[in-house]
Structure 1
Amino acid sequence: MIRHDYAFPLRIDAGSSQVARASYPDHVDQLLRQLLLTSPGERVCQPEFGCGLRRLVFAGQSDALVATVRIQVQQAINRWLSDQVKLDNVDVLAGAAAPASGLDEGSLLITVSYTLVDTLTPTELQVKVI
């Protein structure tokens, strides 16, 4: 099967004057970042799309917040991208809970471990939410 995955943000490739393309792993990485950093209600045509992580940055950092973020990320990925990735693990680090991590207080570091469905390649993505 030939894949034609477009890069995000959508743009024209200067060399070919066509829509820029991304490799399959890069495309899935971009999809995950879009999902995690989009708030529900932000997209007019898909108001339920997103994860809502930015609003959780202002919640008091605690074990309960870490658990909530982990669950929201798992649910969003399983709902919107289960045809692209098999979710292996979600790890969440809150800045206030781990001062040695170098994270600012109030920020979150989310590490998503997953396997690409089409290639069975294990991959990891880190997203910092400030």
Structure 2
Amino acid sequence: MDIDFPFHVDARGRTADTDHPDHVRDLIEQLLFTTPGERVNRPDFGCGLLDLLFEPNSPELAAALGVSAEGALERWLGDVITVDSLVVTAQESTLRIELRYVVIATGERRTELIEGGAAT
């Protein structure tokens, strides 16, 4: 078992844990939502998604995020997952990230969808 994210205490009064596929999902979320410079000992960790939060939504924004996210996933989680596809789309006020990947330890194929509103 792995430590669950966000960190919390479970009903037994112990550190909450989770299964490996959920832990990998947590790692991806942490990577995408961490701003480079936010972590003291790893200043280049993250992909800058939150830096783009108030930028006007556009195909250019989606392309920039796609390049940043794919590079960060390869660099920081390349030993945990293999990215099959990463598609970032901007439609009206919604930015959508669809990530298809394989968990290396188990060979399990997974798809994660992350959506959020952007400034228009």
Q: TM-score, normalised by structure 2?
A: 0.88
* Alignment partner, residue 99 of structure 1: none
Structure having the higher Rg? 1
Cα offsets for 1:33-53 (capped at 9, x unmatched): 111111111222222111111
* Alignment partner, residue 11 of structure 2: 14
* Alignment partner, residue 80 of structure 1: 76
Name stretches of at least 5 consecutive residues in structure 2 with no aligned partner: none
**Deviation larger for 80-89 or 40-49:** 40-49
1:124 pairs with one of 106, 111, 119: 111
Distance 2:109 2:43 in 1: 30
Letter in 2 for 1:6: I
Cα offsets for 1:71-96 (capped at 9, x unmatched): 11100100110111000101112132
Name stretches of at least 5 consecutive residues in structure 1 with no aligned partner: 97-104
Higher-strand-fraction structure: 2
* Alignment partner, residue 49 of structure 1: 45
User: Percent identity of the aligned residues?
Assistant: 37
Distance 2:4 2:58 in 1: 36
The runs of 4+ residues in structure 1 deviating greater than 6 Å are none
Secondary structure of the structure 2 residue equivalent to 1:129: strand
RMSD: 1.5
2:59 pairs with one of 35, 57, 63: 63
* Alignment partner, residue 2 of structure 2: 5
Secondary structure of the structure 2 residue equivalent to 1:112: strand
1:127 Cα deviation (Å)? 1.4
